[in-house]
Amino acid sequence: MAQEAVNVNEEVLLGEEIGHARLITLNQPRKLNVISSRVVSLLADYLEKWEKDDNAELVLIKGAGRAFSAGGDLKMFYDGRNQKDCCLEVVYRMYWLCYHIHTYKKTHVAITNGITMGGGASLMVPLKFSVVTEKTVFATPEASIGFHTDCGFSYIHSRLPGHLGEYMALTGARLTGKEVVAAGLATHFVPSEKLGELEKRLVSLKSGNESAVKSAIEEFSVEVQLDENSFLNKQSIIDECFSKETVAEIIESFEAEAKKEGNGWIGPVLKWLKRSSPTGLIITLRSIREARKQSLPECLKKEFRVTINILRTVASEDVYEGIRALTIDKDNAPKWNPSSLDKVEDEKIDLVFQPFNEDLELHIPKKEECRWDGKYENSAYSTLKVIE
């Protein structure tokens, strides 16, 4: 497993116990609170401990600095590119954790005041309550760098109105706090200057009663009014274009709409689409389309195998080229291979989605009394050397 650098003087995640409330702070502000292997490990430990603790009734999650979380630690993946499956453990643990966040038994609240992207958004959207502000910037842009919409987002995006999910995943659209609420991806909008008071109010409840928590948040929240030019007001165009069967057909339809009067907003979106990894776009669209007929456990198992196969470069090395261009060399000039949609081979995409042997799949517990079973250390991966 890849080892990321840890500053011994700065724990990456902090856990506090205040009465009946439990507070998690993502604590790498200089790194925009990226999700590293240690973050995943600590978060899983705290959530399991507190779900089993009768004195813990309410869990709050927030980020230090100007980000909630910018998502996975891309440098960790890049540094492990030449060591087979060195990131498999953290990937397994993260997807297993995603299931438990979606199905958590205690009331949990995310306070997202800043950048919330990719895997970072998976620590917000599934929670019973999620608070955003005017500083929130939300996006799931993984496809653009040769990856895919993961951490449960094939499930989440596939259940958004119409084909909004496909649009957000393929274009990496950035949403404001107001748009996040309007899209149904957060429950409340609270002005950032009121967050301190909100946190104190929630901790003072001494209860995790959902009605009480909702009422407390609503003391500080305000109704959202979308800006006139928000893409959420373009749902009919989005549905018309992003309902097409293939990425190529989506782009062709979108280009036709761009030529119509009043659709100037489409140009920059098209530019982003055309600069994105062809392989990443095709994998992402297929994953979301499959998710429409899949349960949450099925989606997470699929996303786990897709992630591992992408990191193994089964279909392409684009994910490492995308990370290089974005965060390593920062030249923003990736050289995709295959270079265009028509050169992506269906057979290789099929391999990315091909199921693993049962003992090598992500293990999600089927019985409630065993819901914290299936950990990485009890999986075949922890004792067996995986051979292709």
Instruction: Write out the catalytic residue numbers.
Output: 72, 119, 142, 150
Helix (H, G, I), strand (E, B) or coil at 240: helix
Dist. CA 316–CA 323, nearest whole Å: 13
Phi, psi of 285 (to 5 degrees): -60, -45
In terms of Cα–Cα distance, which of 377, 387, 383, 382 is closest to 357?
Answer: 387
What 8-state DSSP symbol labels residue 292? T
Helix (H, G, I), strand (E, B) or coil at 347: helix
Copy the structure tokens of residue 296.
């949450």
Q: What angle do CA 356, 281, 355 make, to 5 degrees?
A: 10
DSSP string, 191-219: -GGGHHHHHHHHHHT----HHHHHHHHHT
Copy the structure tokens of residue 209.
């009663």
Strand-pair category, 58-63 with 13-18: unpaired
In terms of Cα–Cα distance, which of 303, 289, 316, 318 is closest to 361?
Answer: 303
Please report, for residues 23, 53, 291, 327, the alpha-carbon distance to residue 274 in angstroms, rounded to integers and kept in the order given: 42, 50, 24, 20
Dist. CA 377–CA 381, nearest whole Å: 8
CB 140 within 8 A of CB 172: yes
Dist. CA 48–CA 142, nearest whole Å: 28
DSSP string, 249-277: HHHHHHHHHHTSTT-TTHHHHHHHHHHS-
Dist. CA 24–CA 16, nearest whole Å: 7
Helix (H, G, I), strand (E, B) or coil at 340: coil
